[in-house]
Structure 1
Amino acid sequence: RLTATPEIREANFSTLPGQLSKGASAWIASVGFNRATSSDRFFSGLADLKGGASYRLGVTEDLTLGAGVVYDRALLGYSELFFQPTKIPLQIAFSGLMGANGGLKYNANVLYRPSQKWEFRLDADDLSQRFQVDWRLLSGISFKVAGNTRENALSAGLTLSQRFGSLFTFADVSVDTNNRVRWTLSSYLARWQFINQGSEIFTNSDLIYNFTSLSDGHSLRVGYETRNSQDSLASLGWRYRSPARTFDGRTLWELELGYGFGSRGSGLIASAATNVLPGVVMRLRYESISVLSDSSSFRLEVSPSFNLTPRLTPSDPNIERLRNEGGIYVQPFLDGNNNGQLDGNETAYAEDMQTLLRVNDQSIRNFTPHLTSTGLFLRLPPGRYRVDLDPAGYPIDWKPAEFAYGVEVSAGGYTSLPIPFTRSYSVTGVALDRSGQPMGGAKVEAVPTGTGKKVLSVTNGAGVFFLEGLAQGSYNLLIDNQPTQPDILRINAKSESLQEVTLQQGR
């Protein structure tokens, strides 16, 4: 079945964050402190311990319930509900905190999508209620109506997303009954990007040029922002994003350096961010000028993001997505002793993986690959997949035991796919007839004395042959089905990858 056309099926799984499959369960815990600010100390004292723990259980495929406790100066009860029926395009999420001042603090979200053209959303908490209706008029054109009881306002807006040749444009504009206008415009053309967003309070515009066709590498940015129609700041900056990325697609390193000048003065702007530590996002930013202030500021941001689910790496922050998805852990390795296992003295092969691997006849770039020093993680929906190996990506002088694999992916974990490569040997030389003359067009064969496949080559006009893809073992050598001198070829772990030999038909 590995040679059959890959089976393609539409993925159908839950997209409601927090929902679990039937019988699945999870513990969630959090703890922290409040920090009392102090003008003379950067790190002030910690006080007011806060924390909580809850247990979540998938009661059915459609319903997940949770309960727990929260401590915030008092012990409070906590409950949650996630509901997404399989036959109705409805999603409901509810969480409530009971015992706060004798009342209930809650957060509820309802989403109903009856068709591709209509979407109804209702969000509510103990402070306000909000709704939004989206209507897709045409391809790339949508109309929306929204309301908010906290601001006592209704709004209407239009969204446009279109491509005109190589120009892609996204625009969103809305106006409410309080005469407030909000807009966003984003356009891409080749390596140029223009972004403009604003409201009745602020505007922010950026023109970016990327030196590569991708979002990583070097880029230049020209920006202009205003506040309250009085303060403004223009800036010119350089940015670098490393090509290496984390499991979820974030760049490992990002550096920015620029200079700003505006109504409050001028000065340096710099920042650095990294995701190199698994589960930790770190960002450092320095500003000697901003649109609202001429005072220097220094900010350090550290954001933990852990996923301690078994069989999953701790660097992926999209923990809710991983509940419904699985993946393949592909581990090519150089199998020096031909036992099909990665032993302690053997090395993994993690080079040129994008050339080596294809999944369902598609590039692995389509499946969010995450490369490590020991293998490759591919995040995939549950199902059956075919993995093919392209000879263009083979390590030099090595060949795989199999050329294609069938893999079954289950939700919640990675299916391991070890791919052993065994040493591949080549033999070249000249084939001679009984009188010692080169034989053009002759068939030279290496036939294993035990199990295995024979390898053959046809000589050119000068009698030169080339036998490749030989494994360790002993071979009988033949020219046009006749024994040769020498008649036996022996290959072991100490043999050279390329050997030269002159063969002559036996007398």
Structure 2
Amino acid sequence: MIYPYIPITPSIEIAEIQPCKHYISSTIEKSTTQIETFCSPLLKQGKAKIPGVSKVELSPIESEQNNPEIIDKNPSQTEENNDKSNILPVGINLGKRNVNESVLVRGFEDGKQAVNFDNWLLPFDDVISALNITATTLDDGQLELRSPGLVIRINPKELKTDPEIGLVISVADIKKILGVPTEFDIVKYAVVFNPPWLDFKNTRIPQQELPVVLDGLPKVNPPTFSFSSIGQSINISGNNNNTTTQGDLTTIGTLFGGSWYIRTNQPTLTDRNTWQINEAQYLRQTPTADYVVGSQPTFWQNQGSGQYWGVTTVQRFGYNPPQTSAGGFSPSQRMQSNQVGRTISGEAAPGTLVQLTQGLGDNVIAEVLVDSSGVYRFENIPTGGGGIGSFNNYRVRLYPNGQLTATPEIRDANYSTLPGQLSKGTSALIVSSGFGQENSQNSLIGNFQDWRGGVAYRLGVTEDLTVGTGVIYDESLLGLGELFYQPAGFPLQVAFSGLLGTEKGLEYNADVRFQPSRSLEFNFNSDRLSQRFRANWQAFRGVGFRASGDTRTSTLAAGINLSYNNRNLFAFASADIDTNNNLRWSLNSRMGKLQLNHYANEIASNSQLSYDFSNNFSSGNSLYLNYETSNNNNLASLSWRYRSNSRTRDGRNLFDFDLGYGMGSQGNGIIASASTAALPGLNLRLRYQGISTFSDSDSFRIELSPSFNLQPRLTPSDSRYESLRSEGGLLIQPFLDKNNNGRLDKNEQIYTEDVDLLLIVNNKPIKRFSADMTENKNGVLVKLPPDNYRLDLDPAGYPIDWKPTQSAYAVEVVAGGYTQVLVPFTPSYTVAGALTDAEGKPVGGAKVEAVLTDKGKKVMSVTNGAGVFFLENLQQGTYNLLINGKAAQPEKITIDANSQPIQEVKLNY
């Protein structure tokens, strides 16, 4: 039973009565004997009462132990009682906030302060709960304690068990092991925890992304065939005596889950007989395989003449390739892994929490608590594929004793990945067969001859070593060998590829890179023609040295680069000299609105001084003074340039104008140029030159590049349309389906308002894809890599009084075009009214239903005390009205295109 606290006279000191007050008023049931023992001094003096107990007799020992007045008069007895302890009910505070009103602890206090406070025993579960610590039992039996500012492991066998309290932890261990300063507040009669992470918000651990679930959603498939985009470039150039017109015609589309691409070269734009198809390619790329038909590069060094046209497949086992660039199929790129698993390890003191972060941010990739071995290890850490020198920057943060609020030690863990390198156990197979193509006059596709083909296999032998082998036929039988070696823990990279059996014996390429430190780097490149080396040393901040050599020119070169940067001045200068006394140097500097650029070598030089009126050299008005020399000729010019602040989606200025006048050894004249991207789907560039370093004759050039999307209808495109060779996209068309037929009719409006709120792709708002998103009257275009995507509709973006017939879709995107997703919104109606009985009184608690006659769909509402009901989200159609399963009066209601969004009806029961 719980004994209420009986008020005590105000004359008693708070420090004297507080323990008894907390003990009696705590929610734990107590016997009369327990209360007598704890509150005996006050009970004896009649300052507290126990219901049903009229008098309490205290022994002399109890009186001495619990009466503050007696203890104060006998200091020697106080020292004797410091080792004694009682069961006390105390509160637990987290800083100034109470988190537990009362828990039982083992300790002792003298009415003024805690005695031997470090030896107090507190319930373990209540402590970790108050500190917001989660405890997890690991496989080895240890207990992992984790909070926003702490990650440690303890052995639960080291904790003590109190016969009355249970599993306990001492205040000393709370301070030492958990690192939490702890004190006792006698006034509040509470143990106060002040953890260093009290106001700490750990933002370094990212939230795990929600999985993309496609099961059960209606599937939207891409078109089997589409003609997506067309682009035409026209170049008109000439002088007073001659004018030439050239061009390139490009078309892109979708076919059987892949992309098709045709580029036609037009040497003479007006003469179709000169046109030739330079590229014609069908490309289907999946995470595990690629299939390409038509013009393409070979996966080996081409020995024969002409372009290669054929059929190639790449089969990948255990890895995904990087996304292909707009250049189309690249066998070397598709044979390398998008991510190569590497191991990052090191040493640290046991108990240190080690977090692995990527880049300079706080994005935590993984974390581990160092055990007694003193070694931390992160295995299979993905490092992206790239060229030699392509780095994936990782950092290691070390928090002593698992205290996340402490300042961590930061170590770099930079790893580079070789092109072609694969993770251990992954592999790739490539098979190719085709012919060489020779261009010929009066032939659109040229002549095909000289069969070629080959097969190659690449295997990740270890984390450090990838090897490849194959057989090639290209005018002769050739053997292919590849090796990619990058030992863990040693800054060496080796890439080798060779063809054996050529006319020259061995055709090979070898690249070796050694970087013993961040400031020192050595590169060695070799092939059949020459051997080259390059060394760079960043000696000091702003000072670097380099050296290079080439056996083909039999030269050695040495150079230096200097840099300086502060708030007002930036400067970078470099100079090189070789053993043939060729001197090359450059200078780039900026100070305020002034900028000076200069470079020179043994043949030519160029110097440019510019003044920017807007303090932004990428836009606004600028003035340029330029001087250039070449082969004893020179030209000086003064120019004005204007670049608009507005830019296109791909970063180009909408307007760019240059106007100047030049004087030099060949004479003088006007130099002018202009370009614009303001017209949708059209890029225009004009240039006129009345004087140059080499000639005084007039010359001009006009570049015109229109491009259009043909899907779903003819619309202007942007300059990045060729990226559709390797990627596709979504054409999302939300529309107001007034007649509820699920089709986009001519008189129905496409809804593009609030699309940022409406559309969600793979659990991410559509604005995350803003760089590749275009809105127009035809809907929303979003470029995406080929894959399956989930499209959701967020009710926050629904048009008022409209609702979608489907709120989520599974959509497949393929390269070459856009997958059209029609999102019909149907009118949403509400029928509101009141239900009354035969006497006209409101009926509450009745079930009102509207059942669609032809589809059987029903909407239900329950009347409130006033008989009011709301039947919401109704579509057009005729509904039967039911009350508690029986026909209402009226029995039916019809909703059509002329109905108001909200209708009122009175029902009788």
Smaller-chain TM-score range?
A: 0.5 to 0.7
Specify the alignment match of 1:504 in structure 2.
906
Cα deviation code 1:377-408 (max 9, x no counterpart) = 434598x8765444465577764455456779
Tell me which of 19, 23, 28 is aligned to 2:429.
23
Aligned counterpart in structure 2 of residue 231 of structure 1, from 635, 641, 658? 635
Secondary structure (helix, strand or coil) at the match of 1:59 reads strand
Q: Pairwise mapping of residues 456-475 of structure 1 onto structure 2 (< 5 A)?
A: 467=872, 469-475=873-879
| C-alpha contact 2:661 2:671 (8 A) present in aligned 1 | no
> 2:482, 2:801 → 1: CA distance?
54
Separation of aligned partners in 2, 1:487 and 1:315: 58
1:144 and 1:318 map into 2 onto residues whose CA distance is 44
> C-alpha offsets along residues 45-86 of structure 1, whole Å, 9 cap, x if unaligned?
xxxx999997676622665879676xxxxx899998876569
Write the deviation string for residues 223-264 of structure 1: whole angstroms up to 9, x where unpaired. 33321496332322334698555xxx475x965332112434
CA distance in 2 between partners of 1:316 and 1:183 (Å): 37
Q: Secondary structure at the match of 1:495?
A: coil
Counterpart in the other structure of 2:783: 378
Flag the 1:428–1:76 CA change in 2: closer, same or farther, 3 A.
same
Give the secondary-structure state (helix, strand or coil) at the position aligned to 1:181: strand
Deviations 1:309-332 (A, max 9, x none): xxxx9943697xx5xxx6754544
What is the Cα deviation at residue 344 of structure 1? 10
> Does the 8 Å contact 1:423/1:471 carry over to 2?
no
TM-score by length of 2: 0.36
1:421 aligned residue: 823
Cα gap change, 1:142/1:431 in structure 2, threshold over 3 Å: closer, same or farther? farther
1:154 aligns with 2:558: yes
Is the contact between residue 283 and residue 301 of structure 1 (CA under 8 Å) also seen in structure 2? yes
Matched to 1:376, the amino acid is L
Aligned CA distance change for structure 1 residues 474 and 123 (closer, same or farther; 3 Å): farther
Cα distance in 2, alignment partners of residues 318 and 114 from structure 1: 38
Whole-angstrom distance in 2 between the partners of 1:457 and 1:141: 78
Matched, 1:269 2:672: yes
Q: Return the offset for 1:345.
A: 8.5
Higher helix content, 1 or 2: 2
Specify the alignment match of 2:575 in structure 1.
175
Q: Which amino acid aligns with 2:559?
A: S
Q: 2: CA distance between counterparts of 1:477 and 1:209? A: 75
Contact 2:734 2:750 in 1 (8 A): yes
**More strand, by proportion:** 1
User: Could you tell me which residue of structure 2 aligns to residue 38 of structure 1?
Assistant: none
Tell me, which stretches of 5 or more residues in structure 2 are unaligned? 1-206, 212-362, 366-380, 388-417, 422-426, 442-446, 460-465, 708-718
Distance in 1 between the 2:816 and 2:558 partners? 47
The separation in 1 between residues aligned to 2:644 and 2:477, in whole angstroms, is 47
Change (3 A) 1:133 1:5: same
Distance 1:423 1:406, change over 3 A: closer
Q: 1:103, CA displacement in angstroms?
A: 5.0
Output the CA distance in 2 between the equivalents of 1:362 and 1:160.
43
**Corresponding residue for residue 457 of structure 2:** 59
Q: Distance in 1 between matches of 2:885 and 2:832?
A: 16
Corresponding residue to 1:259 among 647, 659, 665: 659
Q: Distance in 2 between matches of 1:54 and 1:374?
A: 47
CA distance in 2 between partners of 1:24 and 1:282 (Å): 42
Against the structure 1 CA distance between its residues 28 and 171, is the aligned structure 2 distance closer, same or farther, given a 3 Å change threshold?
Answer: farther
Displacement of 1:176 in angstroms is 1.7
Give 1:274-289 correspondences, 5 Å limit. Answer: 284-289=686-691
Q: Residue 386 of structure 2 aligns to a residue in which SS?
A: coil
Give yes or no for contact 2:791–2:810 (8 Å, CA) kept in 1: yes
Q: Residue 428 of structure 2: SS of its match in structure 1? A: coil
CA 367–486 in structure 1, closer or farther in 2 if over 3 Å, else same: same
**Contact 1:23-1:59 within 8 A present in 2 as well:** yes
| C-alpha separation in 2, matches of 1:220 and 1:79 | 60
Residue 901 of structure 2 aligns to a residue whose secondary structure is strand
1:296 aligns with 2:694: no
Aligned pairs for 1:61-100 within 5 A: 63=468, 90=493, 92=495
Q: How many positions carry a matched residue from both structures?
A: 442
2:722 to 316, 341, 356: 316
Equivalent AA in structure 1 for residue 656 of structure 2: E
Q: Residues 736 and 826 of structure 2 are in contact (CA less than 8 Å); yes or no, is this contact kept in structure 1?
A: no
Q: Is the 8 A contact 1:194 1:206 kept in 2?
A: yes
| Counterparts of 1:484 and 1:116, CA distance in 2 | 86
Counterparts in 2 of 1:222 and 1:398: CA distance versus 1, 3 Å? farther
Moved more, 288-297 or 254-263: 288-297
Query: In structure 2, the residue corresponding to 1:316 is in which secondary structure?
Result: helix
Greater relative contact order (CA < 8 Å, ≥ 6 in sequence): 2
Contact map agreement 2:480 2:497 (CA 8 A) in 1: yes
What amino acid does structure 2 have at the position aligned with 1:6?
L
Q: Distance in 2 between matches of 1:381 and 1:161?
A: 44
Relative to structure 1, the CA distance from residue 367 to residue 427 in structure 2 (aligned partners, 3 Å threshold; closer, same or farther) is closer
Tell me how far apart the structure 2 counterparts of residues 299 and 80 of structure 1 sit (CA, whole Å).
Answer: 46
Q: 364, 369, 394: which one pairs with 2:772?
A: 369
Shift of 1:173: 3.9
Q: In 1, distance between residues paired with 2:448 and 2:827?
A: 65
Q: 1:79 to 1:171 in 2, by over 3 A?
A: farther
Q: Match of 1:6, SS?
A: coil
Asked whether the equivalents of residues 226 and 291 of structure 1 are also in contact (C-alpha less than 8 Å), the reply is no
The one-letter amino acid paired with 1:285 is R
Whether the 8 Å contact between 1:80 and 1:93 is mirrored in structure 2 is no
- The DSSP-based 3-state class of the residue aligned with 1:15 is coil
Q: For 1:317 and 1:18, how far apart are their aligned partners in 2?
A: 22
Identity %: 20
Shift in Å, 1:199: 1.5
Cα 1:242–1:428 shift into 2, 3 Å: same
8 Å Cα contact 1:399/1:421 also seen in 2: no
Q: Aligned letter for 2:781?
A: L
Q: Could you tell me which amino acid in structure 1 is paired with residue 823 of structure 2?
A: F
Summarize the Cα distance change of 1:86–1:381 in structure 2 as closer, same or farther, 3 Å threshold.
farther
Check the 8 A contact 1:334/1:421 in 2, yes or no.
yes
- RMSD, aligned CA: 6.7
Higher Cα radius of gyration: 2
